[in-house]
A and B are shown apart, each in its own frame.
Chain A
């Protein structure tokens, strides 16, 4: 038994690893610039009025801290045309444009040379600007060179370069310099056009990296992040608080509600299943089946919304509280606390519970019917035992086994359900947090939620498997066919 349990727990490790890699891949693929968001929304008031150089410096530091400028994993499959340096590029615009140019031409040297030249020129134009004779021309030139930094369309770039040379030609003061810039840029662009090596795009290369974002997430960066192996999930981007500390409270609430609703749905469904098995073929059974499936088909968010409208003070009765988890004040008596909790939790728990009843009822019914046809039941009948004894002492304990497996399948559904129900009832739980995190691309929170929810469901599987093994010695770890 111990061996089995240990084996099952060891299976946890690859599962959690796989899930974390998968979620990491998902998150890295999501568009949007997190670092930019953090800097702009930081409490530091000066951030928005920073000079471009200052902003770039801050950006670079933040990107290094979060690991967004690093490759996602330690190994990556790349194209021969794209140099490894590009994987470490911290400036997302430069990275994106250079990659696009390389995709078009296959020539990394020429692409990078062109972009460097462009950046040099842009820098010079922004610097020389204020001392020029014709301020409007400089502003125009600056605007065009900025736009060129964001473009990977070679036709468009050529046209813009022509425009730029026309404007700068009129500026007599800096003419010697500007002619040189334009000349250099033209050369770089021409190089890009003539020296194309598209075949390089079609050769795969394996890159190995000394540092990766996944590594930082896993065991920290040695500075302010400790990594999840030491229990640090980073800081939330939205509110800046450590994820692990908020996780505790939120996970607690979601777990509490899910557990209550699991227990409730089993308490309701098992007797229903038993009754419908005993009265199989009669209208009682048909009524129970119909009713439970009717309940299953009711969308929980609809029921939740209607119950708020009709039972929580919207339009009808004022029995419950529609929003929040309620407040427990220090001087409250136990009855008052219970009343407060009841007012806030009754509706969510109801909406959480009723949908699951149908499946558990069906499962119980099938299992009980199956066991009623078994030989041990027949022998019990032959021994003249009363029906109640047969049902509750012989049939029911044997029928509970599939219900244990069922438990594992219910947990992901309940946690998934928490997303929508907690959002509707504004409960500060895991699901509501996940929803908000996805809306605002709060990656540390998303990772933590994915991690914890999958860990929870895995534990559900584990517990149900161990319980099963306790009740049924036939099950061995080597034979996974038994599960289904």
Chain B
């Protein structure tokens, strides 16, 4: 018999430590690689420049000129520097054009070494590797959250109502079509100028535009749902079964038919490059696997005895769906998410390798890797980032398998993640 997986068994797995290490790198990237000191004593005052810089980036405190240059802090009375004394965006003019790692160089700078060498423009490779972990994790997790929320809803709805369980009168169907049109019109079409402006301005304008849109969508959605289900005269007449499963399954199939990377290329052409763009496009294009899996699970759960019992008790469809059916088909979700994150990290590095979606001043593993084509003999540029990508993807895979090993959930779902 397989032993039950607990936190203790997790601690013995190498992949857990790899992920923990990368997660640490991602969370504390600014403290591990920065041209500013972590702590400095200046004019008898204790300063924490990296923290201050973070706070000013988030507009909590006013920006100060000395936070933008590392050289200012070199005449501090005492300072504790970050382990890697370069930020990922900083170019070192004296050490550009693929300088070798520190321990292989004779003419290496003594006080601020480039431990893993530099790239063409003089970016520190170690700093890019550290900061790249954050971007890879952020994009991987965000995109999978997006994909999971779309895929879960699509798949669960398709499996729950199947082809014959959702019945509605002609009037109700018309009402629903009207509602969807209204949602599109008032939610997107009318708000489009404000959204566009918000996207261009960024910051608060963007948040308020999106918030307004979501509010309108929520209000209209609830309005049409409540009236559609409660109003008696809408549900008069002969009821027609809506083949929801057929419709959604075909939709999922259509989306799966479009090659993912081509879909990603097309969507990312629509927007300005930003760090969140790859997360958005990867999320939008990779929910089909989760949807198909959830649908299959839901079909299984829906036909179980306890569901029929709950139905006989006269519970509402809403309650049946959210309280009884859905929790039983999301058990494998963590494992699916881990596999999905692995795929998303791979997709993100592919995108930035091709130079799509990521803004020019942000450096990622994939982007660093693409420089390996310029100078093949710089192995620290062509080998190291790929190794990190490989380790991340592999560890997330192992995590997915580990989560899948729970007793009672040994279904194989590799085929959903092609």
Contacts and interface: CB of A to CB of B under 8 A. Distances in A.
B7 interface: no
Contact of B189 (A22, A79, A294, A419): A79
A305 B383 CA distance: 10
Interface string B391-416: 00110011000000000000010110
A366 interface: yes
B311 interface: no
Majority SS of interface residues in chain B? helix
B206 interface: no
Interface stretch (A57-65, A216-224, A371-379, A433-441): A433-441
A81 to B, nearest CB: 10
Contacts of A100: 193
Contacts of A77: 181, 184-185, 189
Contacts of A470: none
Nearest to A362: B414
Given A419-B262, A424-B373, 9 more contacts: A15-B250, A23-B266, A293-B398, A299-B390, A302-B369, A302-B390, A315-B377, A416-B259, A453-B259
A296 B354 CA distance: 20
Q: How large is the interface on A (under 10, 10 to 19, 20 to 34, 35 or more residues)?
A: 35 or more
Closest 10 CB pairs of A and B: A302-B386, A297-B394, A314-B376, A416-B261, A416-B259, A297-B393, A409-B418, A309-B376, A103-B193, A438-B265
Contacts of A359: 414-415, 417-418
A256 to B, nearest CB: 17
A246 interface: no
Nearest to A356: B418
Interface stretch (B115-123, B225-233, B291-299): B291-299
Nearest to A355: B346
Contacts of A30: 266, 269-270
Contacts of B390: 297-299, 302
Interface in A385-422: 402, 405-406, 409-410, 412-413, 415-417, 419-420
A202 B354 contact: no
Contact of B270 (A26, A293, A424): A26
A270 to B, nearest CB: 15
A457 B356 CA distance: 24
Nearest to A458: B257
Majority SS of interface residues in chain A? helix
B414 A363 contact: yes
Nearest to B185: A204
Interface in B269-314: 269-270, 292, 295-296, 299
A299 B393 contact: yes
A201 interface: yes
10 contacts: A30-B270, A294-B394, A302-B389, A362-B414, A412-B256, A413-B259, A417-B261, A419-B265, A434-B265, A461-B253
Contacts of A23: 258, 266
Interface in B227-261: 245-246, 249-250, 253-254, 256-261
A461 B257 contact: yes
A113 to B, nearest CB: 21
B261 A419 contact: yes
A305 B261 CA distance: 19
Contact of B262 (A79, A296, A434): A434
B133 to A, nearest CB: 15
A14 B8 CA distance: 53
B136 to A, nearest CB: 12
B349 A299 contact: yes
A26 B382 contact: no
Contacts of B190: 79, 201-202
A347 interface: no
A358 B259 CA distance: 20
B415 A363 contact: yes
A423 B356 CA distance: 13
Interface string A18-49: 11001100110111000000000000000000
B320 interface: no
A409 B270 CA distance: 27
B93 to A, nearest CB: 27
A438 B269 contact: yes
Interface string A345-360: 0000000000000110
B267 interface: yes
B259 A415 contact: yes
A412 B394 contact: no
B2 to A, nearest CB: 11
A409 B418 CA distance: 6
B82 to A, nearest CB: 28
Nearest to B396: A297
Interface of B: 181-182, 184-186, 189-190, 193, 245-246, 249-250, 253-254, 256-262, 265-267, 269-270, 292, 295-296, 299, 342, 346, 349-350, 353-354, 356, 366, 369, 372-373, 376-377, 382-383, 386, 389-390, 393-394, 397-398, 412, 414-415, 417-418
B233 to A, nearest CB: 24
A446 interface: yes
Nearest to B293: A484
A296 B397 contact: yes
A308 interface: yes
Contact of A416 (B260, B393, B415): B260
A201 B192 CA distance: 12
Contacts of A308: 373, 376
Interface of A: 14-15, 18-19, 22-23, 26-27, 29-31, 77, 79, 100, 103, 201-202, 204, 293-294, 296-299, 301-302, 305-306, 308-309, 314-315, 358-359, 362-363, 366, 402, 405-406, 409-410, 412-413, 415-417, 419-420, 423-424, 434-435, 438, 441, 446, 449-450, 453-454, 457-458, 461, 480-481, 484
A23 B262 CA distance: 11
Contact of A480 (B189, B249, B270, B377): B249
A358 B394 CA distance: 12
A315 B377 CA distance: 6
A23 B342 CA distance: 27
Given A100-B193, A201-B190, A420 B246 contact: no
A409 B377 CA distance: 38
Contacts of B267: 26
A13 to B, nearest CB: 12
A420 B350 contact: yes
Contacts of B269: 30, 438, 441
A15 B252 CA distance: 11
Contacts of B260: 412-413, 416
A484 B292 contact: yes
Nearest to B356: A438
Contacts of A481: 299
Contacts of B350: 299, 301, 420
B262 A449 contact: yes
Q: Which of B266, B270, B346, B369 has the most CB of A within 10 A?
A: B266
A484 B295 CA distance: 9
B189 to A, nearest CB: 7
A297 B390 CA distance: 6
B384 to A, nearest CB: 11
B191 to A, nearest CB: 10
A301 B369 contact: yes
Contact of A366 (B296, B397, B412): B412
A420 B258 contact: no
Contact of B397 (A29, A103, A293, A458): A293
Contact of A362 (B266, B353, B412): B412
B323 to A, nearest CB: 25
Contacts of A402: 415
Contacts of B265: 419, 434-435, 438
Given A77-B184, A103-B193, A309-B376, A26 B353 contact: no
Nearest to A18: B254
Contacts of A299: 346, 349-350, 386, 389-390, 393
A6 to B, nearest CB: 18
Q: Which of A77, A299, A309 has the most CB of B within 10 A?
A: A299
